Structure formats: C-alpha cells, structure tokens
Amino acid sequence: MSLRRGLLALMLAAGCATPVLGAQPVVLNIAFSVMPPWKTIDANGEAQGPYARILRQLAAQLDATPRFIQCSLSRCLQLMQLGEADVALGLAATPERVAYLDFIPPGLEEDSRIAFFMRSTDQRPLARYEDLAGLRVGVTHDRRYFARFDADTTLQKDVALHTAESMRKLVAGRVDVVIAPVLHGRSVLAAESLAQRVRQMPLQAKSYGGFIALSRLSHWGPYRAQVAMAINRMHAIGQLDPGRQMPRTPRCEQAMPGSRTPGCGYDAAALRP
C-alpha cells in the first residue's frame, strides 16, 4: 500500500513539474498613432475611428481590456519592437518589420490603394511611375507605401513627421507631390482645407495591406493561437471591415469611466510617451 502511495506521489510531482501556460493577460496594450480617418483622437483624448473600433472588438474577443498608447508612428514601432505594446493596426507588413512583428491574417477589408497628390495648378503629368523622376516627393517618417517606391533610391524624398505637414509643403511649393494612402490623403486635405488647392493624380499603387500586428515580445505571444482565432472570428462576422458601423454594447455604455471592463474603452489611463 505504501508503495502505491509512493508511486502516486512521484506521478503527482512529475505532473507539477510539467510547464503550464500562465494566466492569460487581462490588458491588451495597443500602439495607436493618429492617421485619419482610420485612427483619430477625440476632444477627451480617447482613441476613435474604425481602427480603434476594430481593436476594441479584438480585446472583447480576448476578454481583455484595451489600453491605448498614443504615440507617433516611430515611437509606436519602437514600443512594438520592445514588447511594451502588444498590438497595432495600420502598419505596413514590410520584410524588416516581420523580424519583430507577427502580421496575423486575414487582413482588413479596406481600400488599400496608395495615391499621389499635386497642386491643382501644376500641369505636369503623373500617370506612370516613371513620371515621378525629377519630382520632390513628400513622405512621412517611418511610413512604408509599396515595395517599388520604398526601395527606390533614385527619387527625391522629402521627409515630414505627418502627412499634413507634407501637404502644407506641397501648397507652399516646397515639394512637388505627396504620397499617401488614398483615403488618408483625402481626409488630411479636408481637415487642412486644402481640397481646392490639391488634386489627386491618376497614378495609384496597391499597398502592403492592413493586418493586425502582434509584437513578437508581447506577453500575449504564448497566446498567439487565441489571438489568431479571435481575428478569424472577427473576419467571419464582418468586424474587420473598417467601413462597417458597429453599435456599442449596453455593457460598454454602462461601464464607469476609467473602469476596467473587458472589451470596452480604457482610454482614461492611456499612456502618451
């Protein structure tokens, strides 16, 4: 009898020594760089726009609280590289970023075209990629557009912190053309009251596409399978479409401001590095 108890004790000890996946994180840290119309900040400093909605829905699928970290594009990339932010949306899936970001399919159901904008008074043609030769092109720091353009070292690229800054340079004659995602470019022109002074050119290209990116150093890394399943569930019910309006649930509407309610906003505690 004592031998049986001894064997049972050894089996239990062996079971306890087996590595066990820890408790799933309760907070989803989201790197959030402003990029209208998809990512905006309202008057209360809270993350808004279609991408914010999608990321809140991802948190709801994971039964986690979304915590938005408002940052510049460069800072957001750094946070993702260090694992200080868990997920981001709207980052181009370039080869150098794949080293520290896991772009989880399927991608968003959105207009992923890249457009070019010139002054309305500029009559130079821009219908072919070759027409960019000799033009000063306004680009945003650390933003990627499409492979041919990003790798082209023959073009004159003028770097700005934001697309709005590039558009202001355009109307001032300091650059000849601005590159931007088509909807983002139009949104910036409207916000800056420049729509009458700038026109979209015929030249367009397809971007890398939009995916939810998971930091490879994230605390959610061991739960990558659960994150992927959540994204697939969202795709199946149409929640990866940025143009689809989704009503807030009564549970979120009744949540106390600043309280940790899984799937609902937690922007009052957002970091602003």
Domains and CATH numbers, the chain: 27-110+210-244 (3.40.190.10), 113-206 (3.40.190.10)
- At 216, list the tokens: 């490879």
Q: What is the pTM of this model?
A: 0.77
Q: Which of 251, 219, 227 is nearest to 89 (CA)?
A: 227
| Residue listed under structure tokens 């510049």 | 72
Peptide bond into 242 cis (omega under 30): no
Would you give the distance in Å from CA 25 to the centre of its chain? 21
Peptide bond into 37 cis (omega under 30): yes
pLDDT at 250: 54
| Residue listed under structure tokens 């460069």 | 74
Residue numbers of the chain with a pLDDT score lower than 50? 1-4, 7-8, 10-19, 246-247, 255-273
φ, ψ (nearest 5 deg) of residue 4: -65, -40
Strand partners, 10: none
Contact present, 87 and 58 (Cβ < 8 Å): yes
Contact present, 79 and 71 (Cβ < 8 Å): yes
pLDDT at 51: 95
Contact present, 213 and 88 (Cβ < 8 Å): yes
154-158 contacts at long range (C-beta below 8 A, 24 or more positions apart) = none
pLDDT at 38: 93
Contact present, 64 and 86 (Cβ < 8 Å): no
Would you give the distance in Å from CA 179 to the centre of its chain? 18
pLDDT at 205: 96
Q: Which of 71, 65, 66 is nearest to 30 (CA)?
A: 66
DSSP 3-state assignment of 213?
Answer: strand
pLDDT at 20: 52
pLDDT at 107: 87
Strand partners, 157: 137
